[in-house]
Chain A
Amino acid sequence: MRTPVAALLLALLAVPASAEPLPTRVVSIGGAITEVLYALGEDKRIAAVDTTSVYPPAALSEKPNVGYMRGLSAEGVLSLSPDLILMEDGAGPKEAVALIDAAGVPVRHVPSGYSVPDLLQKMRLVAAAVGRDEEGEALAQRMAGELEALRGDLAEIKSKRRVLFLLSVADGRANAAGHGTGADAVIRLAGAENVFGDMEGYKMLSPESAAALKPDVILMLDRAGPGGGDPLAIPALAATPAGQAGAVIRMDAAYLLGFGPRTPAALRDLAVRLYPDAGLGASLVR
Chain B
Amino acid sequence: MRRLGARRGAPREASEPSAAPALAGDRSAKARLATLLLALLLAATLIVALGTGPALLSPRAVAAILLAGPKGEVASLADTVIVWQIRLPRVLLGALVGASLGLVGAMMQGLFRNPLADPGLIGVSSGAAFAAVATIVLSGSVLAPFAAALGLYALPVSAFGGGLAATLLIYRVGTRAGQSSVALILLAGIALGAFAAAGTGFLVYLSNDNQLRDLTFWSLGGLGGATWAKLWAGLPMMGAALLAAPFLARGLNGIVLGEAEAYHLGIRVQRLKRLTIVIVALATGAAVAVSGTIGFVGIVVPHLLRLWFGPDHRHLLPNAALGGAVLLLVADMAARTLVAPAELPIGILTAALGAPVFLWILLRRRGLAGL
In chain A between 223 and 245, which residues have their CB closer than 8 angstroms to a CB of chain B?
none
Please count how many residues in chain B sit with their CB below 8 Å of the partner chain's CB atoms.
34
- A165→B11 CA distance, assembly (Å): 76
Which residue in B86, B217, B341 is a CB contact (below 8 Å) of A70?
A: B217
Considering the complex, give the chain B residue whose CB is closest to the CB of A68.
B342
A181 CB to nearest chain B CB (Å)? 8
Nearest-CB residue, chain B, relative to A1: B76
For A210-230 the 0/1 string (1 means CB < 8 A from B) is 000000000000000000000
Q: CA separation between A149 and B86, bound complex, in Å?
A: 50
Residue contact B213 to A76, C-beta cutoff 8 Å: no
Q: Is the CB of B342 within 8 A of A67?
A: yes
Nearest 9 Cβ contacts at the A-B interface: A67-B342, A104-B77, A76-B341, A79-B55, A73-B343, A79-B54, A103-B81, A95-B225, A103-B78
Cα of A73 to Cα of B210 in the assembled complex, Å: 18
Interface of B toward A, CB cutoff 8 Å: 53-56, 61, 75-79, 81-82, 85-87, 205, 208-210, 213-214, 217, 224-227, 230, 336, 339-343, 345
Q: By the criterion CB–CB under 8 Å, are A79 and B56 in contact?
A: yes
In the assembly, what is the distance between CA of A67 and CA of B336, in Å?
12
User: Judging by beta carbons under 8 Å apart, are A76 and B340 in contact?
Assistant: yes
> How near does chain A come to B67, taking the closest CB pair, in angstroms?
17
Nearest CB in chain A: distance from B282 CB, A: 24
* Chain A interface (Cβ < 8 Å from any Cβ of B): 1-2, 48, 51, 64-68, 70-81, 90, 92-96, 98-99, 102-105, 181, 200-202, 204
- Complex contact B336–A75 (CB within 8 A): yes
Q: Enumerate chain A residues within 8 angstroms of B87, measured Cβ to Cβ.
A: 75
A45 to B221, CA, bound (A): 34
Chain A residue with the shortest CB-CB distance to B335:
A73
Known A-B contacts A80-B341, A201-B209; A1 and B86 likewise in contact (beta carbons under 8 Å): no
Chain A residues with Cβ under 8 A from B345's Cβ?
71
Note all chain B residues with C-beta closer than 8 A to A200: 208
Do residues B77 and A96 form an inter-chain contact, with CB atoms below 8 A?
Answer: no
**Bound CA span A53–B109, Å:** 47
Across the interface, B341 reaches (CB within 8 A) one of A1, A73, A92, A204, namely A73
Q: Is the CB of B81 within 8 A of A78?
A: yes
- Whether B78 pairs with A93 at a CB distance below 8 angstroms is no
* Docked-complex contact B340 and A104, CB < 8 angstroms: no
Q: Is B56's CB under 8 angstroms from A92's CB? A: no
Q: A99, B85: Cβ atoms under 8 Å? A: yes
Q: How far is the CA of A96 from the CA of B89 in the complex (A)?
A: 13
A26 to B205, CA, bound (A): 37
Distance between Cα atoms of A48 and B77 in the complex (Å): 21
Which A-chain residue is minimally distant from B75 (CB atoms)? A1
A27 nearest CB neighbor, chain B only? B341
Q: Chain B contacts of A72 at CB under 8 A?
A: 343
Report the nearest B residue to A181, measured CB to CB.
B209
Task: Please tell me if the beta carbons of A73 and B214 are within 8 angstroms of each other in the complex.
Answer: no
> Which of A75, A90, A105, A204 touches B54 (beta carbons < 8 Å)?
A75
Kindly name the residue among B55, B82, B339 whose own CB sees the greatest number of chain A CB atoms within 10 A. B55
Please state if A96 and B56 are interface contacts (CB–CB under 8 Å).
Answer: no
Known A-B contacts A65-B341, A103-B77, A105-B78; the reply to A75 vs B56 at CB < 8 A is no
Knowing A1-B76, A93-B225, the reply to whether A73 touches B81 (Cβ < 8 A) is no
A96 → chain B, closest Cβ, in Å?
7
Q: Can you give 16 A-B contacts (C-beta < 8 A)?
A: A2-B56, A64-B341, A66-B342, A70-B217, A71-B343, A73-B224, A73-B343, A75-B53, A75-B55, A75-B86, A75-B87, A76-B336, A78-B55, A96-B224, A104-B78, A181-B209
Q: How far is the CB of A274 from chain B (nearest CB, A)?
A: 25
Of A76, A95, A103, A204, the contact of B342 (CB 8 Å cutoff): A76
A104 in contact with B55 (CB, 8 Å): no
> B342 and A104: CB pair below 8 A?
no
Chain B CB count within 10 A is highest, among A1, A65, A76, A77, for A76
Candidate in B61, B86, B87, B213 with the most chain A CB atoms within 10 angstroms = B86
Of all chain A residues, which has the CB nearest B226?
Answer: A95
Considering only CB atoms, which chain A residue lies closest to B81 in the complex?
A103
Q: A73-B336, A93-B225 are in contact. Are A99 and B81 (CB under 8 A)?
A: yes
Nearest neighbor of A69 in chain B, beta-carbon distance: B213
Q: Are B339 and A67 in touch, CB under 8 angstroms?
A: yes
- A1-B76, A75-B87 are contacts. A66–B214 as well, Cβ < 8 Å? no
Pair A103/B56 contact, Cβ less than 8 Å? no
Quick check: B341 and A48 within 8 Å, CB to CB?
A: yes
For A79, list chain B residues within 8 Å (CB).
53-56, 82, 340-341
Are B225 and A202 within 8 A (Cβ)?
no
Most buried by B among A65, A71, A80, A181: A71
Q: How far is the CA of A201 from the CA of B209 in the complex (A)?
A: 7
A102 touches B85 (CB 8 A): yes
B205 to chain A, nearest CB (A): 8
| Assembly CA distance A48 to B345 (angstroms) | 21
Tell me which of B76, B85, B205, B341 has the highest count of chain A C-beta atoms within 10 A of its own C-beta.
B341
Whether A67 pairs with B213 at a CB distance below 8 angstroms is no
Q: A67–B77 Cα gap in the complex (Å)? A: 24
Residue of A nearest to B227 (CB): A95
Nearest CB of chain B from residue A134's CB, rounded to whole Å: 31
Residues of B within 8 A of A105 (CB): 77-78
Contact B214 A76 (CB under 8 A): no
| In the complex, chain A residues whose CB is within 8 Å of the CB of B210 | 90, 92
List the A side residues contacting B56 at CB < 8 Å: 2, 79
Decide yes or no: A71 and B225 within 8 Å by CB, A48-B341, A104-B76 being known contacts: no
B82 touches A75 (CB 8 A): yes
B341 partner residues in chain A, CB cutoff 8 A:
48, 64-67, 73, 76-77, 79-80
- Enumerate chain B residues within 8 angstroms of A96, measured Cβ to Cβ: 224-225
Contacts of A2 in B (CB 8 A): 55-56
